[in-house]
A and B are shown apart, each in its own frame.
Chain A
Amino acid sequence: MGFLASNYVLTAKNLCGVRGERLLFEKLNFELSNGSVLYLEGANGSGKTTLLRTLCGLSKPYAGAISWCNENISELAEEYSKYVLYIGHLPGIKEDLTALENLQFSLALSGEKFNFTEATEVLKLLDLAKGLNLPTRMLSQGQKRRVALARLWLQDLPLWVLDEPFTALDADATSLLKQKIEAFASAGGMVVMTTHQEVSIKVPKFEQLRLDA
Chain B
Amino acid sequence: MPKELSTFSVLYRILARDIKVALRRQSDVMAVFFFFIIAASLFPLGSSADPKLLSAMAPSVLWVTALLSCMLSLSRMYSSDHADGTLEQMMLSNQPTVLVVLMKILAHWVLSGLPLVFVAPLIGLQFNLSSAELQLLAISLLMGTLTLSLIGSIGAALTLGVHGTGVLIAILVLPLYIPVLVFGAGAVNAVSIGMNPNGALSLLGTVLAMALVFAPLGSAAALKIALE
Contacts and interface: CB of A to CB of B under 8 A. Distances in A.
B89 A84 contact: no
A111 B3 CA distance: 6
A78 B95 contact: yes
A14 B183 CA distance: 54
Contacts of B2: 2-3, 112, 156
Contacts of A96: 20-21, 24-25
A56 B90 CA distance: 13
Given A94-B21, A95-B84, A101-B20, A112 B227 contact: no
Contacts of B88: 58, 86, 88, 90, 92
Interface stretch (A63-71, A102-110, A124-132, A191-199): A102-110
Interface in B7-35: 9-10, 13-14, 17, 20-21, 24-25
B30 to A, nearest CB: 15
A134 to B, nearest CB: 12
Contacts of B25: 96
A112 B92 contact: no
A122 interface: no
Nearest to A2: B2
B49 interface: no
A111 B92 CA distance: 11
A81 B94 contact: yes
B84 A108 contact: no
Given A59-B228, A96-B25, A91 B84 contact: yes
B104 to A, nearest CB: 13
Contact of A92 (B9, B13, B14, B85): B85
Listed residue (A88, A92, A112, A113) with the most chain B CB atoms within 10 angstroms of its CB? A92
Interface residues of B, number: 31
Interface in B109-137: none
A86 B17 contact: no
Contacts, number: 100
Give the dominant DSSP class at A's interface: loop
B93 A109 contact: yes
Interface residues of A, number: 36
B5 interface: yes
B92 A58 contact: yes
Given A82-B94, A97-B20, A135-B24, A92 B86 contact: yes
A3 B1 contact: yes
B50 interface: no
A12 interface: no
B5 A113 contact: yes
A60 B84 contact: no
Contacts of A79: 94
Nearest to B6: A111
6 contacts: A58-B88, A82-B3, A92-B84, A92-B86, A101-B17, A109-B92
Interface of A: 2-3, 56-60, 77-79, 81-82, 84, 86, 88-97, 101, 104-106, 108-113, 135, 156
Interface of B: 1-5, 9-10, 13-14, 17, 20-21, 24-25, 81, 83-86, 88-97, 227-228
A-B interface, 8 closest residue pairs, ranked by CB to CB distance from nearest: A90-B85, A109-B93, A92-B85, A108-B13, A96-B24, A2-B2, A113-B4, A92-B89
